[in-house]
Amino acid sequence: MAAAKNARLPNASVPWRLWQAARGLEGSHITLPDADLRGKWIVITGGNNGIGREAALQFASWGASIVLGCRQPPPHEKHPDITVADCIAAAQAAGHESSKIEWWSCDMTDLSSVETFAKRWLSTGRTLDILANNAGIGRTPRGKLTKTKDGFEIVHQVNFLAHVYLTMNLLPSLALAEDPRIVCTTSCMQYFGTFNLSNANTTAGPSSYSHNKLYFQTWLTELQSQLSSTHTMNHVTINGIHPGFVKTGIWIPPHVAAEAKSLNPLDRLLNMLVGVFGVDPQQGSLAIVRAATAKECATTKMGGEGGGRYFNRIWPAEPMPQTTSPACRQLIWDFVDRELHLKEKGLLDVFDSECSIG
Ligand SMILES: NC(=O)c1ccc[n+]([C@@H]2O[C@H](COP(=O)([O-])OP(=O)(O)OC[C@H]3O[C@@H](n4cnc5c(N)ncnc54)[C@H](OP(=O)(O)O)[C@@H]3O)[C@@H](O)[C@H]2O)c1
């Protein structure tokens, strides 16, 4: 994208961005009312660890059946088998003996793995009630520009593109649900992002994380708008959430933290700040849980206050201006279509074939 074209796109002032990002540090203790998820199916990516694991435990204790979408994790990470066993124990402790909890392979660095996961889901004929797009990595391995086997920058693919692909593949199953919810774990780091799609596959380091969280929040806002203009999917809700500043491995992967002597000064500082100011993963998970279950988070069609929003933990917050810009939304929509060949694969047919009612 040419710089001149970018100049016409909306942007936010630095003080406003800093203020919004600082609000992401909000650390109050949250409790949520119980929800009844008996008979509902949930797919959650990155469900074996961190806030995804805690969300899965909560969903299980409320009676949901769950598929955790996980990669075969590196040895230093918690194996999905352990989280499956813990979720089954949580379900049983709450009296939900018939819940099904499984983990299926879904490696976000490999789009064929995502597609296989989605096909496997669709072949079950199950209705999908909640999709939590949560898996993520905080940094490029070894700080160097790293491409996946699909040819995309790794943070771009894991944190954004693979979730777009998963979502678009699973939409037909979501559409069958009564009150379907898609929750995307974006981040307050979007406020440090730059909307310049020419950087999508060329940036390594922390800025790639911020750019892609901004792209994700912008894309999901457009998806909500597109869904709302269909007859068959206008009941589907999608929102983005920031879980808080949470003590998880996203900041400094556990194997790096364990060798604390090898941390560079910036990582040392980050480690200290997360330890002092961060909330625990259970608290972080409640942002996902609330967006997935609270009535007010649903689209107006479903009696809520509208989808396509951004929540700082459980509070509605103002996302970056690109999310409300038709030009930016069209740019990101078209960009991912080109990267993932969505149209060619028929994954946009529902938007093309249905008459607009909006
Ligand atoms: N922690 C925070 O303060 C914070 C703030 C804002 C947003 N977030 C977002 O929250 C989400 C969850 O992160 P977290 O804080 O819970 O960190 P985490 O504990 O590191 O969890 C990340 C999850 O993503 C999974 N994952 C990583 N690469 C994957 C891949 N290639 N395929 C499939 N799964 C993969 C991890 O699986 P493995 O166990 O295999 O690594 C893990 O389950 C991320 O999207 C993150 O950007 C976190």
CA distance 64 to 257: 34
Spacing, Cα 53 to ligand 1 middle (Å): 10
Instruction: Report the Cα–Cα distance between both ends of the chain, in Å, rounded.
Output: 30
Domains contained in the chain, number? 1
Which mutation among 44, 134, 192, 210 tests ligand 1's pocket best, with the greatest number of atoms within 8 A of CB?
134
| Best residue for ligand 1 mutational test, from 20, 49, 109 (most atoms within 8 Å of Cβ) | 49
Residue 219 lies in a domain: yes
* CA nearest ligand 1 atom 39, residue: 77
Q: How far is the CA of 346 from the centre of ligand 1 (A)?
A: 30
Give 323's contacts (C-beta < 8 A, 6+ positions apart): 217, 218, 221, 308, 310, 329
In a domain, 249, yes or no: no
d(CA 304, CA 276): 36
Question: The tokens of 85 are what?
Answer: 């066993």
Q: Is 33 helix (H, G, I), strand (E, B) or coil?
A: coil
Ligand 1 probe mutation, 43, 57, 78, 137, most atoms within 8 A of CB: 137
Ligand 1 and 283: CB distance under 6 A: no
DSSP string, 173-210: HHHTSSS-EEEEE--GGGGG----GGGTTT--SHHHHH
- CATH number, domain of 39, equals 3.40.50.720
The reply to whether 354 falls in a domain is no
Tokens 């940036």 correspond to what residue? 203
Q: Which of 191, 239, 250 to mutate to test the pocket of ligand 1 (most atoms within 8 A of CB)?
A: 250
Distance CA 165, CA 3 (A): 28
- Own/partner pairs, 271-274, CB within 8 angstroms, 24+ separation: 274/245, 274/247
What's residue 273's pLDDT? 85
Residue with tokens 């310049």: 196
Q: Which domain holds residue 310?
A: 33-244+279-348
Q: What's the confidence (pLDDT) of residue 272?
A: 84
Q: CA torsion angle for 333, 337, 339, 345 (degrees, to 10)?
A: 160
DSSP state of 224: H
| CB within 8 Å of 132: residues ≥ 6 apart | 42, 43, 44, 45, 47, 52, 55, 182, 183, 185, 288, 292
**pLDDT in the model for residue 358:** 41
Query: Within a domain: residue 333?
Result: yes
Query: Which atom of ligand 1 lies at the shortest distance from residue 51's CA?
Result: 16
pLDDT at position 263: 74
Q: Which residues of the chain have pLDDT under 50?
A: 1-7, 355-358
Structural domain contains residue 357: no
CA distance linking residue 76 with residue 27, whole number of Å: 28
Answer whether residue 178 is part of any domain. yes
Asked if residue 21 has its Cβ within 6 Å of ligand 1, the reply is no
Ligand 1 atom nearest residue 249's Cα: 20
State how far the alpha carbon of 241 is from the alpha carbons of 44, 291, 314, in Å.
14, 8, 8
Measured distance CA(55)–CA(289) in Å, rounded: 6
- Residue 137 Cα to ligand 1 middle (Å): 5
In a domain, 156, yes or no: yes
Q: Tell me the CA–centroid distance for residue 2 and ligand 1, in Å.
A: 32
Cα(7) to ligand 1 centroid in Å equals 33
d(CA 52, CA 87): 12
* Ligand 1 contacts CB of residue 187 (under 6 A): yes
Q: Which two three-digit tokens encode residue 73?
A: 């994790």
pLDDT of residue 4: 38
